[in-house]
Homo-oligomer: A and B are copies of this chain.
C-alpha cells in the first residue's frame, strides 16, 4: 500500500499521534509540549485566556471545497481570533480530532501542518490534543492566550458616542463560500479568503492598548456580532454602508450569482475580522477603520434603518 494511501486505522492512535507530533515545533511559551498527560504553557501575567471552537464536516467545511491544510488554517484561525478579540496574544492550541477510520494519514498530517502554520504566524504552537475514530470528521480546537498585563476587552463595555471600528475584511469568505456552493472555483480572491481567512491578530492587543471599550471576533457576520456587543453593553449601534467598499471581484460574483454584495459584507461570517468600539477622542490604531457609531437604545441598524437582509449564522438552524 502506498504511503499516501495508508489510513489512520493502519498506524493506530499512538502511531498517528507520534507522526503528527513529529511534525510540530514549539515556541518559547511552551514549557512542556505533547506526549505527556498534559502540556504546560507560560502564562506571563498569571492569567490565561482560553476559547474553544469546533468544526464539523459538512457543517463548517467540506473536503471537496478545501484541502486538509486549508481546513487546519481555518480551524486554527477561528480560535486564535477569539483570543485576539480579548486583547490577548495566542500562545497555544490543543486539538481534538475525530476521524473516519479510512481517512488517509496524509490528510491528518496536512491538517496538523495547517493548524501549526496558522498558529506560528502569531508565535503560538500546537501543544496537545487527542484523536479518536468517529463516523463524522470533527475538529475541536482550544486556543490559549496571554493578556500580557492588559485588562481583557469584553463585549460589555461599549458606550453611546463610541466609534464602531473594524480591522480586517468582511464578506470575502462568505462570498467565497457562496461561489463554491454554486459549483464554481473562482474568483480566486474570494475562494482563497474562504479557505484561509486572513485574520488581523495583532489588531486585538493593539486595540486593547489604545483603549477599546468592547471587542468581538466577527464569525457570525458583522451585524450579528455587533448585535452581541450591543446586547452585552446595553447600547444600540448604527453601521454605515458607505464605510464598506465592494471589491471588483465581489461585485462581479454578486452580479453573476444574483446576490446583494452587502449581504456578504454585513452578514457574512468566517473572515474573522475584529470589530471594536473606541471612545470618540481615541485615534484608531493602524489597521482599524470606522464603520459606525454607538448610540443609546438597543439593536443594530444600517444607515439608521433595520437590516432587511439575511441574518447571521446559527449552527442549529
Contacts and interface: CB of A to CB of B under 8 A. Distances in A.
A38 B92 CA distance: 14
Interface string A143-169: 111010000101110000000000000
Given A45-B46, A47-B31, A53 B130 contact: yes
A175 to B, nearest CB: 23
A82 interface: yes
B144 A60 contact: no
Contact of A140 (B81, B86, B96, B145): B96
Interface string A5-16: 000110111101
Interface in A296-317: 314-317
Contacts of A48: 40-41, 43, 48, 144
A4 to B, nearest CB: 18
Contacts of A206: none
A54 B216 contact: no
A286 interface: no
Interface string A55-68: 11001100000000
A268 to B, nearest CB: 17
Given A134-B138, A135-B136, A314-B14, A217 B54 contact: no
Contact of A44 (B32, B46, B143, B215): B46
A71 B41 CA distance: 29
A86 B32 CA distance: 11
B154 A54 contact: no
A132 interface: yes
Interface in A4-41: 8-9, 11-14, 16, 31-32, 35-41
B52 A140 contact: yes
Given A128-B52, A314-B13, A37 B134 contact: no
A101 interface: yes
B36 A86 contact: yes
B138 A12 contact: no
A216 B316 CA distance: 38
A83 interface: yes
A131 interface: yes
A50 B41 contact: yes
A249 interface: no
Nearest to A53: B130
Given A52-B94, A314-B14, A316-B9, A38 B85 contact: yes
Contacts of A147: 40
